[in-house]
Structure 1
Amino acid sequence: MLRNLLRAIYRSKPVQSIRLPKPLLHWLLADATLVLIYHEISDAPSPFHARHDLNHAPDVFATQLQALHEAGFYFCSLRDMQRGDYRRPAVFVTFDDGAPGFFDNAIPILRRHGAHAINFLNASIQDGAVFHSALTSWLCANRPDFIAHLAAAYGPDWDATKQSLPFLFATPELTQAYLDAHDRAAIERSVRADYGPGGAWEQIQRHQELSIIHYGNHTYTHANAAAVSPEFLAQDVARNQERLDALPQGTRWFSYPYGQPALCYNEATHTVIRNCGQERLFESSGRIHTGPVDGLIHRFATPTLPQSESGFLLWLAIKMAAQRWRSRRAD
């Protein structure tokens, strides 16, 4: 109820019409690099993307980029991020999962603003497999016996965290074992209908001359790196990298699936992934980078609600102020 109330207040005309003076915005975000996460960009998202709040309508995405452009934010390229010698406040745009709306809707908007972006791919989608994240999400929501299957496999380790977020701990091995014992074809049909079509290799190839677009590693299957064995993780990263190395815009930059601190990565996973040749590691803690962007790179998602340019900038300012306040309290 409180969340709905706050959304209603944020979307109200008086709030959306508040214009922060540009000097105040630049003062709040003077040393900030905004590393943004997007997934799908569509006016007709799949049920999966809509249900999990992973879709931005093209107009919403365009409004956010236009707001940042008008406010004087510097749009970083990959080279800028590597060198670190760009002016701030700055923004770097990232996507996960290679959804079709990235190619059909996001790229024209990015080109209009001269904005660079990297899309972290799970090549299993482009290869035609059922998307692991969509599969485990659907099973957890629709098959109680799947959660019982996970609980039995984990035994005493099936704690409150796993019970509250079972999809994070549904490894590919456990998921495939469940499908082997059930109606795999019917389940996969339901999941494909829920997730919709994924981005295709043909779409990637159609844009391979664009210098503003690059692709990174999101593992082949999108399994939670902290839940699988080091051997599986290394194979998952390497298999995906083989596909990326065949692309003119492929990189050795890596984004953790799900990306949540502690639950989805740790020092052991960092070591495995770096040993696979990955040069930059991204997570999804929701933090804004201040100062140098090195080590583990923080990303955050933006509101999917329709908003004005000034409303989006107000949201950013509040987010930055809240982060600085929390940091001071922690000190």
Structure 2
Amino acid sequence: MAGPALSAARTRPGLAVTLDDFDIADGPRLSGAERHAAILSSLERHRIRAAGFPAGKFVDNDPARRHLQTWSQRGHLIGNHSYSHSFYAGGSPERMMADILREEPLLSAFPTFRKWFRYPYLAEGKTAEGRDGLRRLLQANGYRNA
């Protein structure tokens, strides 16, 4: 009897919600804290677990770390989006990997941190050499492309 119910559950469409950057500075309509609370409230209201990919330059301060702590406590995943959030054209995979690793200590304290990397601007490099070079470095450092 459980078979059909399980089968139906597997065929329902899924939804992946991700948020990039985590620039939660005050804006013209909402403070950063108000915007963060509104996002979390909406996710909870719809019973959605999301993955956040903060850029280190936006979360390298106490207020932002507190927001990430709340994010983690509520079961949302946290991945890496690089420290500087620079466009990766592919010129130096080693420099980009260093930027990714620079952010890791900011995130690794959170229980829901995963070694998932989201490229800023989704830019994986303009050449196959640059793209493949960073992919190799990500893999060597235990990261997967998110």
What range is the shorter-chain TM-score in? Answer: 0.7 to 0.9
Q: Give the counterpart letter for 1:245 in structure 2.
A: S
Check whether the contact 2:94–2:134 (CA below 8 A) recurs between aligned residues.
Answer: no
Q: CA RMSD of the aligned region, Å?
A: 2.4
Corresponding residue to 1:248 among 111, 115, 125? 111
Q: Give the counterpart letter for 1:251 in structure 2.
A: R
Instruction: Report the counterpart of residue 105 of structure 1 in structure 2.
Output: 38
Look up the SS of the partner of 1:263 in the other structure.
coil
Q: Give per-residue Cα distances to partners, 1:4-62, cap 9 Å, x unaligned.
A: xxxxxxxxxxxxxxxxxxxxxxxxxxxxxxxxxxxxxxxxxxxxxxxxxxxxxxxxxxx
How far 1:207 moved relative to its partner?
3.8
Check whether the contact 1:103–1:204 (CA below 8 A) recurs between aligned residues.
Answer: no
Instruction: Report the counterpart of residue 73 of structure 2 in structure 1.
Output: 209
Check whether the contact 2:56–2:83 (CA below 8 A) recurs between aligned residues.
Answer: yes
Look up the SS of the partner of 2:45 in the other structure.
helix
Corresponding residue to 2:50 among 89, 95, 117? 117
Instruction: Report the counterpart of residue 43 of structure 1 in structure 2.
Output: none
Look up the SS of the partner of 1:208 in the other structure.
helix
Instruction: Report the counterpart of residue 238 of structure 1 in structure 2.
Output: 101
How far 1:208 moved relative to its partner?
3.3
Look up the SS of the partner of 1:243 in the other structure.
helix
Structure 2 portions without partners, runs of 5+: 1-8, 25-31
2:109 pairs with 1:273: no
Report the Cα distance in structure 1 between the residues aligned to 2:58 and 2:134, rounded to whole angstroms.
23
Please say which structure displays the higher CA radius of gyration: 1
2:15 pairs with 1:91: yes
How far 1:248 moved relative to its partner?
1.6
How far 1:218 moved relative to its partner?
0.6
The one of the two structures with greater contact order (alpha-carbon pairs below 8 A, sep at least 6) is 1
Check whether the contact 1:226–1:269 (CA below 8 A) recurs between aligned residues.
Answer: no
Report how many residues are paired. Answer: 126
Look up the SS of the partner of 1:202 in the other structure.
helix
Q: Give per-residue Cα distances to partners, 1:265-296, cap 9 Å, x unaligned.
A: 722221122222103x13xxxxxxxxxxxxxx
Percent identical across equivalent pairs?
28
Report the Cα distance in structure 1 between the residues aligned to 2:112 and 2:66, rounded to whole angstroms.
14
Q: Give the counterpart letter for 1:208 in structure 2.
A: S
Within-5 A mapping of 1:283-302: none
Instruction: Report the counterpart of residue 10 of structure 1 in structure 2.
Output: none
Q: Provide the TM-score with structure 1 as the length reference.
A: 0.35
2:83 pairs with 1:223: no
Q: Give per-residue Cα distances to partners, 1:83-114, cap 9 Å, x unaligned.
A: xxx43421110110013266222111110111
Report the Cα distance in structure 2 between the residues aligned to 1:114 and 1:225, rounded to whole angstroms.
34
Structure 1 portions without partners, runs of 5+: 1-73, 75-85, 129-198, 283-331
Per the alignment, do residues 236 and 103 of structure 1 end up closer, same or farther by CA in structure 2, a change over 3 Å counting? same
How far 1:126 moved relative to its partner?
1.6
